Amino acid sequence: MGTNSAYKLCSLVFWVVFLGCSELIQCSVTYDRKAIMINGQRRILFSGSIHYPRSTPDMWEDLIQKAKDGGIDVIETYVFWNVHEPTPGNYHFEGRYDIVRFMKTIQRAGLYAHLRIGPYVCAEWNFGGFPVWLKYVPGISFRTDNEPFKRAMQGFTEKIVGLMKAENLFESQGGPIILSQIENEYGVQSKLFGAAGYNYMTWAANMAIKTGTGVPWVMCKEDDAPDPVINTCNGFYCDSFAPNKPYKPTIWTEAWSGWFSDFGGTIHQRPVQDLAFAVAKFIQKGGSFINYYMFHGGTNFGRSAGGPFITTSYDYDAPIDEYGLIRQPKYGHLKELHRSIKMCERALISVDPIVTQLGTYQQVHVYSTESGDCAAFLANYDTKSAARVLFNNMHYNLPPWSISILPDCRNVVFNTAKVGVQTSQMEMLPTNGIFSWESYNEDISSLDDSSTFTTAGLLEQINVTRDASDYLWYMTSVDIGSSESFLHGGKLPTLIVQSTGHAVHIFINGQLSGSAFGTRENRRFTYTGKVNLRPGTNRIALLSVAVGLPNVGGHYESWNTGILGPVALHGLDQGKWDLSWQKWTYQVGLKGEAMNLLSPDSVTSVEWMQSSLAAQRPQPLTWHKAYFNAPEGDEPLALDMEGMGKGQIWINGQSVGRYWTAYASGNCNGCSYAGTFRPTKCQLGCGQPTQKWYHVPRSWLKPTNNLLVVFEELGGDPSRISLVKRSLASVCAEVSEFHPTIKNWQIESYGRAEEFHSPKVHLRCSVGQSITSIKFASFGTPLGTCGSYQQGACHASTSYAILEKKCIGKQRCAVTISNSNFGQDPCPNVMKKLSVEAVCAPTNWRG
């Protein structure tokens, strides 16, 4: 294997004294064609994305430990420029933005880190992570060979690298960071920009290298990445990817564990069987570094969601859910996958595979070393049919679209399609807290002249608001003569408003006349509606609402939001009346925002109305507030907002985020794990609100007297808001009598007959819970899936009794799947399985 001088830049070795890396130990990160090398050792590494601003600091340690327990070696995060430098030269690294604390938490857990500085991140994050002030730097053009942009980007990159160096956080200094990323998914943009794109990309790579981190840099989805930068892959599958030079390792920076959600869209779930298949396929082809995007998705608190129209939840169907709870079976199945692959590590990092065709759609990749290590991956790419293959004089059964892993080229310890871990079913339980609401209507009839300005024509929204608020008022007036036909029995005139995004509420003389919304795919839209005008002067007020700024693409400096027209009245006696170039008065934000109604420290003369009066006639643009005590326990909390329309939520002055009860449309007609996955394939929630529950971090709460503030744009019913706890309701498992198990792999006994270890069903409730009942149990040929099991033609009559004896009253239990355990064979010569569903409840619960 050869090297070149450029590669040697990546192989700088630093000798430092630090805790855990003594004077005599070489602390370095390098690479060769097979893998990332840490202190000279090639490694197969599993990484998981956890974005620090999408959770709270009190959650970080638990999230990272759960990732480690799930077989993760590396924690990956983007660095979010807009939260760290909200105004030029003023930096913020506190609270959820304390990236140093996050890195040190990773280090204490004994894990590595991958720091994706970008500083463009995409990530369904507001403005792609760019601070909006960057748009107003004179002469700027984003993400191209433009000096103002490059100067700002270099300044921030060097700021972050300097911060990490000052805290000794790079592996070369004894810290956890083993990789860094510059730019992000730039390949497509680079080609669109032509020579300017290539020059910028090359500049970015060289600028990053000159920061001297002592660890390799990567560029994802950038085929032209110059040496020594490693180009990497993002996608649902990356087994066909190869780096641009033969001496670079094959790295998958984003293995998409699920997909994001947008308001009005469905929820996307990626079956773990397919995700495991994709990972095993990447490894068998020679891949050595995989990062799950996301491993914990978290929450888009505040106005951080991008898109536009990205939901406040960024759950992503990740192995750890939005609330920090383990999602089964995804977490457990991947944990077993990681363990199985690590058993093959010595062979994988030492040699290249020998590939043999075993059938039309079947292959085996064999890694065999001179020292005797042997690992095999048996693959069946058929999406419909199982296959029986012959390998090493033994027969193996492969389900459709699956890969079996044999760490000794003999015994199967894992198959990607055979899920043996439990499935957890979660529920949202009421906390029995009843809110006593007070309300205040946003006054749109009078304006504070100090907060408004007037000019001719329609202005782009972000140029006016600088994204200080989602809201911008566009206000004008029209004079209607008393002789107009519509005032004497004719048809009402029609108002047409064309917007570049993202939503608008139309008020005529202080009354809501209608609303219109764009979508993530089509943020431009047109409002068309009849308007009830009166003789004389009529006030038209258009409240334009941003729902997160776009996060994908180039030329960020040229993107538009808000009402750019035309705005016109049709159906008057004079015909069309174009209002676009009239005088318009503008007000940034809401009066309630200006009065800081969302804060517990707010001191205003606002007269709040008791909920009993407000509930009689719900009004748009209304502020609601209530006080509540923190519920007992430590379960994660959420607000059920299904009774509301659209708006924002604050707890004790901290923004939970945007809410919107937009009902999902899509195709929810089932889901098969087999075959190529796309977000349109496995949809859930058709006809339901895209997001109903909104995460309330417990660390934001005081024991008593917590202030909840809701701003409602459309006029929902706050009496239907409730605080709920997220809890494990039941667990299911389904395991066949010949399920692959690691216990059946003994490298020392290779070639010798060994006693077969029967698989087991493992059930586990949450801490503080126990199994209170067995809802279903059948050893035989049961049918159905978790939550809808049914007995099949074959059923052991002792099934319930055995499960109840083993499991009732316990937090966790294990039941061996064997004929002897259930008394006798209920159906000889038939492949049997055990399916079980158990109910979990608090340990002190009495049914």
**Residues annotated as catalytic (active site), given as ranges:** 185, 254
Report the Cα–Cα distance between both ends of the chain, in Å, rounded.
67
What span, in angstroms and rounded, lies between the C-alpha atoms of 819 and 802?
Answer: 12
Give the CA distances from residue 32 to residues 8, 119, 227, 691, in Å, rounded to whole numbers and listed in that order.
11, 27, 13, 45
CB 313 within 8 A of CB 296: no
What span, in angstroms and rounded, lies between the C-alpha atoms of 258 and 296?
Answer: 11
What span, in angstroms and rounded, lies between the C-alpha atoms of 564 and 463?
Answer: 12
Under DSSP, the state recorded for 813 is E
What span, in angstroms and rounded, lies between the C-alpha atoms of 754 and 521?
Answer: 58
To which H or E segment does residue 594 belong? helix 591-594
| 41-43 vs 45-50, strand pairing mode | unpaired
Angle between helices 99-108 and 147-166 (to 10 degrees): 40
Under DSSP, the state recorded for 664 is P
Alpha carbon dihedral 343, 348, 350, 351, in 10-degree steps, equals 140
Q: For 233-238, which contacts have Cβ atoms below 8 Å and span 24 or more sequence positions? A: 234/185, 234/293, 236/270, 236/278, 236/676, 236/677, 236/678, 237/278, 237/281, 237/282, 237/676, 238/278, 238/282, 238/287
Give the CA distances from residue 786 to residues 562, 748, 759, 779, 836, in Å, rounded to whole numbers and listed in that order.
47, 38, 19, 15, 8
In sign, the C-alpha dihedral spanning 830, 673, 295, 639 is negative
**How far, in whole angstroms, is CA 503 from its chain's centroid?**
24
Q: Which residues contact 627 (CB under 8 A, 6 or more apart)?
A: 436, 705, 706, 707, 708
In sign, the C-alpha dihedral spanning 432, 438, 443, 449 is negative
What span, in angstroms and rounded, lies between the C-alpha atoms of 381 and 398?
Answer: 10
Q: Which residues contact 473 (CB under 8 A, 6 or more apart)?
A: 444, 452, 541, 542, 543, 544, 585, 586, 587, 588
* Region class of 596: left (phi > 0), else alpha (psi between -120 and 50), else beta: left
To which H or E segment does residue 206 belong? helix 195-209
- Residues for the chain: how many in total? 847
